[in-house]
Amino acid sequence: MLDSLSSPDVSTRLRAFLDDRAPATPCLVMDLDVVRANYRALRAALPEAAVFYAVKANPAPEVVAALVAEGSAFDVASTGEIDLCLAQGAAPESLSYGNPIKKPADIAHAFARGVRRFTFDSDGDLANLAEHAPGSRVSCRFLVDAPASGTPFGRKFGCAPQMALRLLARAADLGLDVDGACFHVGSQHTDPAAWTAGIAQAAWIARGLAECGVPTRSLNLGGGFPTAYRTPAPPLAAHAAAIRAAVAEHFDTAPELLIEPGRAVVATAGLIRSEVVLVSRKSDTDEHRWVYLDIGRYSGLAETENEYIAYRLRTAHPVESPDGPVIIAGPTCDGDDVLYQHTPYRLPTALRAGDHVDILDAGAYTASYSSVSFNGFPPLPTLFVG
């Protein structure tokens, strides 16, 4: 696959910004118009679902402010994210504390700030919610039984559906306001059937609760909506159709739907501009060149771990220029700071130190992972257009 196309798919505004400003590399440039367009596309594809943007995908205040103006609600995971959203004008009622791993003090802080929606998946967290967030709306996250996603969560979050049923009944006994079940199919999920499986399990939980006299109100479908990186992803419409069909099939009365997209809101709005530090070979006869960039695993490209996410790359060399196979690595002195050695990438043979390599669709899970100045390389700065 040729990756050295000369940028037909980067917005003209982004390109003009890069040409005019020539920002120091590496940097992430976010087009806020694309963030707004992605949010509207999600609303249009699934108008029956309230959107809670998952802040961790890109917590830049500018992104949060743009989404507040669009009317989005927010999935937050910490006191830091709560305070960030409130500072950008989000109403406390629009925040959902979706992280089931929290300290009693975190719950108390959220409650004091006016947050009234929480997710739990354990007896311990439920007891803390009853004590520190009395009367709040709660949902229980269960572990969905579906094939793994592009960047799976493993078993860290969610309990068995049977246990979710028991915990939600207990939540009602504890005086909490039961919303219902929630799940997350795993990030970058390219199989719409994953939501179908989760919805069937959630309906089973809702029926069980109804039998115990505990009515439920909503179903939170989580995030996971995919972005087309080097490999295509099904369109939003395919996910929406699968969700709608499964809700109609498994629920007698349709619950209020919530979605918590992160990646699908911000990924395509961002471009990382990097610079080639060095091009070398490991032997005089080696077919592969090693291309070292000024950005790596520790300064924004965390999702290249296991080569889970294979970004599209662009250089300024013409499309038709000869290319060859490369291994792409970051600049630090860490042996794991190799971006792609198994995924076949090709870059122009004329590529030299000092040339730019643009990393497309890099608006999600990049700058937010780049918070530590590992090895003296600073965190990734974000610039904005729009």
Ligand X SMILES: *Cc1c(COP(=O)(O)O)cnc(C)c1O
Give the binding range for ligand X (CB under 6 A) out of 86-94, 110-118, 257-265, 319-327. 257-265
Closer of 128 and 190 to ligand X (Cβ) = 190
Closer of 184 and 273 to ligand X (Cβ) = 184
Question: Do the beta carbons of residue 252 and residue 210 sit within 8 Å?
Answer: no
Closer of 161 and 261 to ligand X (Cβ) = 261
E strands present in the chain: 27-31, 49-54, 73-76, 95-97, 117-120, 137-141, 177-182, 218-220, 256-259, 270-280, 289-293, 313-315, 323-329, 338-348, 356-359, 382-385
For helices 193-211 and 161-173, angle between their N-to-C axes, nearest 10 degrees: 40
CA dihedral 173, 177, 178, 184 (to 10 degrees): -130
Give the binding range for ligand X (CB under 6 A) out of 37-45, 62-70, 260-268, 284-292. 260-268
57 binds ligand X (CB under 6 A): yes
CA 99 to chain centre: 14
Q: String of b and e for 330-348 (b: at least 16 CB within 10 Å)?
A: bbbeeeebbbbeebebebb
Task: Give the 3-state DSSP-derived string for 222-263, with helices as H, strands as E and coil as C.
Answer: CCCCCCCCCCCCCCHHHHHHHHHHHHHHHCCCCCEEEECCCH
Closer of 226 and 296 to ligand X (Cβ) = 226
Give the binding range for ligand X (CB under 6 A) out of 21-29, 53-61, 203-211, 347-355. 53-61
Minimum Å gap between C-beta 262 and ligand X is: 3
Task: Report which of 206, 204, 354 is spatially closest to residue 279, judged by C-alpha positions.
Answer: 354
Contact with ligand X (CB under 6 A): which of 34, 42, 46, 56? 56
Contact with ligand X (CB under 6 A): which of 132, 137, 166, 263? 263
Task: Report which of 194, 190, 233 is spatially closest to residue 361, judged by C-alpha positions.
Answer: 233
333 tagged catalytic: yes
Task: Report which of 115, 141, 118 is spatially closest to residue 222, judged by C-alpha positions.
Answer: 141
Minimum Å gap between C-beta 272 and ligand X is: 17
Question: What is the sign of the dihedral through the CA atoms of 38, 313, 25 and 282?
Answer: positive
Minimum Å gap between C-beta 258 and ligand X is: 10
Minimum Å gap between C-beta 266 and ligand X is: 8
Q: String of b and e for 112-123 (b: at least 16 CB within 10 Å)?
A: eeebbbbbbbbe
Minimum Å gap between C-beta 255 and ligand X is: 17
Closer of 132 and 184 to ligand X (Cβ) = 184
Rg of the Cα trace of the chain? 22
In angstroms, rounded to a whole number, what is the distance separating the alpha carbons of residues 220 and 204? 14
Question: Do the beta carbons of residue 228 and residue 180 sit within 8 Å?
Answer: no
Give the binding range for ligand X (CB under 6 A) out of 20-28, 50-58, 196-204, 349-357. 50-58
Give the binding range for ligand X (CB under 6 A) out of 18-26, 166-174, 258-266, 286-294. 258-266
Minimum Å gap between C-beta 149 and ligand X is: 8
Active-site entry in 85, 159, 212, 333: 333
Structure tokens of 60? 């830049």
Minimum Å gap between C-beta 101 and ligand X is: 10
Contact with ligand X (CB under 6 A): which of 59, 158, 223, 296? 223
81 binds ligand X (CB under 6 A): no
Residue matched to tokens 């013409």: 318
Contact with ligand X (CB under 6 A): which of 75, 81, 179, 358? 75
Q: Which positions from 180 through 219 interact with ligand X, judged by CB under 6 A? A: 184, 187
Contact with ligand X (CB under 6 A): which of 158, 261, 330, 363? 261
Closer of 290 and 308 to ligand X (Cβ) = 308
**DSSP code of 334?**
-
Closer of 364 and 380 to ligand X (Cβ) = 364
273 binds ligand X (CB under 6 A): no
- Where do contacts with ligand X occur on this chain (CB under 6 A)? 54, 56-57, 75, 98, 184, 187, 222-225, 260-264
Residues with catalytic function:
333
